[in-house]
Chains A and B, each alone.
Chain A
Amino acid sequence: MLRFWSLLVLLAFGFAQEITVLTHSSFSLDKGLIAQFERETGLKLRFLKGGDAGETLNRAILTKGAPIADVIYGFDNTFLSRALEADILLPYRSPEIRNLKATLLLDPTFRALPVDYGWVSLNYHRAYFKDRPLPKIPADLARPEYARLLVVQNPATSSPGLAFLMATVARFGEDGYLDFWARLRDGGVRVAKGWSEAYYTHFTLYKGDRPLVVSYTTSPAAEVYYSEGKYQEPPTGNLFPELAFFQVEFVGVLKGTKNLEGARKVVDWFLSKPVQENIPTEMWMYPARRDAKLPEVFRFAPEPVGSVRLDPKAMAENRERWIEEWTKVVLQGQSPEAVRRGRR
């Protein structure tokens, strides 16, 4: 009864304001942390899951006139330019910025603030490759005996898929990446719509028929963490740091929010130490804060040495073309030669 009256009082004075956070579908944080934030601020948090990271951002762009949320979390560096160009975010110099790793501050206008980072990377199923040789160099993947074992995501509909495509551009260059993909195609690579379909349906660890999958460098650690003692060592491993792609996920205040104050508090909260230290075992990304401690299980997720990066400007300018060219070669079976000719 007391709770009812205090709720009524809160409502009457407008304290229990709701803040809506638009996130990608993989969003997850400790319930206790969320409850604590709500207690301390009097704000009520609501999380809306908008699908894949790119899809979520597009939702925000398409509803620009009447924003569906106050805060957006989860769009990454491959989509950063789209978010900034669409002008859906308000600048916010959070006091927490000074605690963040400087290399992650990719938006000088402070509209998109980094929350976490990680690497999209090839995973292999250890048990499958126990008595079989692993591919030795990235180009080996295109050989028929390995292409037939690989499942990737469609870069048009999946952000890890797009990251892996960009990794191949960074690794093989504008001239070579289409040849690599054409050979993967001929070798029998499978294309899934999104990460969860690739990982949970086609990957041999989950009774699929593909022992090589595009996932994250932290996935092996996650397997140990969730196995409840079944695994002492990860059942999967990372392949080819030189094909791992650096990803940063951002948070931002959506233009048109009715509660600017509250939205900013949520951004500060995302960057606060407790949330940052919760992110690794909830979303399997590395915290953006310098002083956040990593959980013990992250010893199975070493940072890849020699991973590839692309210049954000190059990504912004070429993203659509790369996706289009990839579609032409892999889904539609055109020759890389013809596609390159079409550029001119």
Chain B
Amino acid sequence: MAFGALLVFLFLGLALFYPLGRILILGAGEGLARALANPYYWERYLWSLEYGLLSALFTLFLALPLAFAFRRRFPLREAFLALATLPFVLPTPVVALGFLALLGPRGLLGVDLYGTKALLFLAAVFYNLGLALRILLPVALSLEWPLQAARVLGASPLRAFLRVGLPLLLPAMGSAGVLVFIYAFSAFGVPLLLGGPRYATLEVEVYTLLAYRLAFPEASALMLLEILTLALAVVLYLRLRPYPLPAGGLLPAPSWAYTLGLGGFFLLLFAPLGVLFLHVDPGALASAWASKDFTPLSLALGNTLRFTLLALLLALPLGVAYAAAARRSPLMDLLGLFPLMVSPVAVGLGYLLAYPHLRGSLLLLLAAYALLAYPLLARALLPALRSLSPSLLEAARVLGATPLRAFFRVELPLVFPALQSGLALALAAILGEFGATLVLWRPEWTTLTLAIYERLGRPGEAPFREALAMAGLLALLSGLVFYLLDRGRGRVG
């Protein structure tokens, strides 16, 4: 396994730490003083913090009752659970377009929330609700016995919840909240497409500084601020360990009415996506296919599929090697989490700085994809690996297998469902990647997400319809991949 750890180290060094170091050196130089002296950038920072914190709060506020609702057995429960996680793997331009179709200037509801905080928070909740639910649900399920014990001892239901349930839930709420914070604080696509210049997050500001003004020092300084904040959040996340509670079962089933109620809730939650599909016009898809004015859909789709496949070839061995190494080493565990702290835009920026001679080479893009995808794969694999009994491995070893052989022949087959879930997450993440692609992009590499973004930059009916149709296609693609591989089994976190 030492070889696996070495592989991960080498990759992290080349694909993360060295480029990041270049950013830090540049950012700590002249850019830092200039950026820190400018109140405008502090305003961007404060807004990013506000966006992260309030998004986490709103998401928890909805996810907690939802987790309790899912303690019961009711018809279609598994389907709803799978549905709740789906937004997490949807590419940001798709979600942004869905919200625009519902609540934008040309929206179905006739209410124009474009460029308002409300729309941004709605999108954040849409994205992260499923993630928070997945983290809270196992704890909510195992609360049954402790709550019953409190009730038997004479506590009222409210008191039992407040004094026993809530304290037990807190670590899970904390880790869900921190994760949502991390994702919202470093959000790129949603604020770029829905926020307008007023609600640009740090991440959007970094991109603007780089793409339009080539202001590397300022961009690096802002990146430094962002990385420090995210690092604090990740440390907090790692410290929040859930209480070991016995796994709980499902409570008896209410009726179909319960399903209907929850169905109504999900219908509302998914309204933006529904409207997106309502607006998909096959004619627009056809005209996008061989478009002369924009990147043709044929090229974009081909690129997306090709890059996803190639990046997966890198991410798969990395993810497996990392999970195997992190299983027993807390240091590796922490190290491997680093990519989660660094935003995709920062990764792209770092590559441009660190490997100037490789600028415009596909290798950089694929490395960025693999870097952003492998932790997702590994995070899904890790809990399954950790729950394997060590005696299985020992038996294999006693019977003469080498550690490598034992890992591939005994352990990996046993955790195959978890591997599939991780693969689904990684695939979906690459399919919809936006920030790093936008920084490292070459015109002939335009992917589906970029082709959508390109059309959104041109107001007018025809490009907007093409963008909608392509977003529908991309949503279908990500959803299908996720459904086929995961089917709602996977745990994220």
| Chain A interface residues (CB < 8 Å from chain B) | 22, 25, 48-52, 54-55, 58-59, 61-68, 82, 154, 156-157, 191, 193-194, 196-197, 200-201, 320, 323-324, 327-328, 331-332, 334
Q: A62-B360, A324-B38 are in contact. List 18 more A-B contacts (CB 8 A).
A: A25-B458, A48-B444, A52-B212, A54-B212, A59-B441, A62-B214, A64-B359, A65-B356, A65-B357, A66-B357, A66-B358, A67-B360, A156-B208, A157-B212, A200-B460, A331-B40, A332-B43, A334-B39
Asked whether, in the complex, the Cβ of B457 is within 8 Å of the Cβ of A156, the reply is no
Q: Interface size (B, Cβ < 8 Å)?
A: 29
Contact of A68 among B39, B358, B442, B457 (CB under 8 A): B442
Instruction: Report if B116 contacts A (CB, 8 A).
Output: no
Q: Is chain A's interface secondary structure helix, strand, loop, or mixed overall?
A: mixed
Asked if B208 and A157 make an inter-chain contact with CB atoms under 8 angstroms apart, the answer reads: yes
6 examples of A-B residue contacts, CB within 8 angstroms: A48-B443, A64-B359, A157-B212, A193-B457, A323-B213, A331-B40
Interface residues of B in 20-49 (CB under 8 A from A): 38-40, 43
Nearest CB on B from A20, distance (A)? 9
A65 adjacent to B213 (CB under 8 Å): no
A52 to B211, alpha carbons, bound, how many Å?
A: 10
Q: Is B264 an interface residue (CB 8 A)?
A: no
Taken together as a complex, chains A and B put the C-alpha atoms of A154 and B213 apart, in Å, by: 12
A-B residue pairs, 5 tightest by C-beta: A63-B360, A66-B360, A48-B443, A200-B459, A201-B459
Nearest opposing residue in chain B for A202, CB measure: B459
* B359 x A66 contact (CB < 8 A): yes
Question: Is A68's CB under 8 angstroms from B214's CB?
Answer: no
Tell me which residues across on chain A come within 8 A of B444, comparing CB atoms.
48, 68
- A82–B214 touching, CB < 8 Å: yes
Judge whether B360 and A65 touch: CB under 8 Å.
Answer: yes
Tell me, in angstroms, the Cα distance from A65 to B359 when the chains sit together. 6
Tell me the complex Cα distance, A50–B295, Å: 11
Q: Give chain B residues whose Cβ lies under 8 Å from the Cβ of A63.
A: 359-360, 442
CA distance A191 to B200 in the complex (A): 14
Complex CA gap A48/B360 in Å reads: 14
Q: Are A191 and B211 in contact (CB under 8 A)?
A: no
Interface membership of B136, Cβ < 8 A = no
Known A66-B359, A196-B459, A197-B459; judge A320-B215 contact (CB<8 A). Answer: yes
A62 to B214, CA, bound (A): 9
Per the bound structure, the CA–CA distance linking A82 and B215 in Å amounts to 12
Which chain B positions have C-beta within 8 A of A191?
197
Within 8 Å by CB of B197, from A66, A154, A324, A328, lies: A154
The answer on a CB contact under 8 Å between A68 and B215 is: no
Residue B361, interface by CB 8 Å: yes
B residues apposed to A, CB below 8 Å: 38-40, 43, 105, 196-198, 208, 211-215, 352, 356-361, 441-444, 457-460
Cα A157 to Cα B197 in complex, Å, equals 11
> Known contacts A66-B359, A320-B215; is A50 also within 8 Å of B105 by CB?
no
Question: Inside 8 A of B443's CB, which chain A residues have their CB?
Answer: 22, 48-50, 59, 68
User: Could you tell me the distance between the alpha carbons of A25 and B356 in the complex, rounded to whole angstroms?
Assistant: 26
A residues near B457, Cβ cutoff 8 Å? 25, 51, 193-194, 196-197
Other-chain residue from A52, A68, A82 in contact with B360 (beta carbon distance below 8 A)? A68
Question: Interface centre among A64, A201, A332, by most B CB within 10 Å?
Answer: A332
B213 touches A320 (CB 8 A): yes
B358 engages A65 (CB within 8 Å): yes
Q: Is the CB of A156 within 8 A of B212?
A: yes
Residues of B contacting A156 in the complex (Cβ-Cβ under 8 angstroms): 208, 212-213
Inside 8 A of A82's CB, which chain B residues have their CB? Answer: 214
Task: Report the Cα distance A68→B440, complex, angstroms.
Answer: 12
- Cβ–Cβ < 8 Å partners of A22 in chain B: 443
Chain A: minimal CB distance from B300 (Å): 14
With a cutoff of 8 Å between Cβ atoms, the chain B residues found around residue A196 in the complex are 457-460
Please name all residues of chain A whose beta carbon is closer than 8 Å to the beta carbon of B441 when the two chains form the complex. Answer: 59
The complex places the Cα of A159 from the Cα of B438 at a distance, in Å, of 20
Are B442 and A64 in contact, with the CB atoms below 8 A? no
Q: Point out which of A22, A63, A331 has the most chain B C-beta atoms below 10 A from its C-beta.
A: A63
- Would you call A66 and B361 a contact (CB within 8 A)? yes
Given the complex, which residues of A lie within 8 Å of B215, measured CB to CB?
A: 320
- Given A82-B214, A156-B213, the answer on whether A328 and B359 have CB atoms closer than 8 Å is no
**Whole-angstrom distance from the CB of B205 to the nearest CB of chain A?**
10
- Rounded to whole Å, the gap between the CB of A155 and the closest CB of chain B is 10
Q: Which of B197, B356, B359 contacts A331 (CB 8 A)?
A: B197
A68's closest neighbor in chain B, by CB? B442
Contact A201 B360 (CB under 8 A): no
Report B-chain residues with C-beta under 8 Å of the C-beta of A328. Answer: 38, 40
Given contacts A64-B359, A66-B358, contact A55 B39 (CB under 8 A): no
